[in-house]
Amino acid sequence: MNALPTDKIHIRDLALRCIIGVYAKERDAAQEVVINITLWADLARAGRSDDLADTVDYKAVKNAIIAMVEASRFQLIETLAETIAAICLAADGVAAARVLVEKPGALTGARTVGVELFRRNPE
């Protein structure tokens, strides 16, 4: 398997609302989720050219994630995280993605609960 590029793009603290949860009370109204993403990509060419065509269009990635999350009705944050990772890996130039999805207030006494995963493109 090829080594990952050392360059990264971070999307931090993307707060969205969606239907998420396994319990009936969680299925009635949208809840907040907070998403943090790291994308591994080779950014050297973009650093030299200053051209969007030479990098990952992270605004397009963010917009695709927002559209999916706000329309989703998953039971598990694991499934939400996996689907976000797939969107990230579909973007041109992304070699790998780390996705952390947190659900604030999901557990009494805890600020948040979250699922973090790492996925690579199989190139």
Q: For residue 26, what are the contacts with CB-CB under 8 A and spacing of at least 6?
A: 19, 20
3 within some domain: no
Express each pLDDT in 60-115 by its tens digit: 999 999 999 999 999 999 999 999 999 999 999 999 999 999 999 889 999 999 99
Alpha helices in the chain (DSSP H): 44-49, 58-71, 77-90
Range of the domain at 50: 8-120
List the CATH number of the domain containing 14: 3.30.1130.10
Give this prediction's pTM: 0.95
Active-site annotation holder among 25, 59, 62, 103: 103
103 has catalytic annotation: yes
* 88 is a domain residue: yes
How many domains does the chain contain in total?
Answer: 1
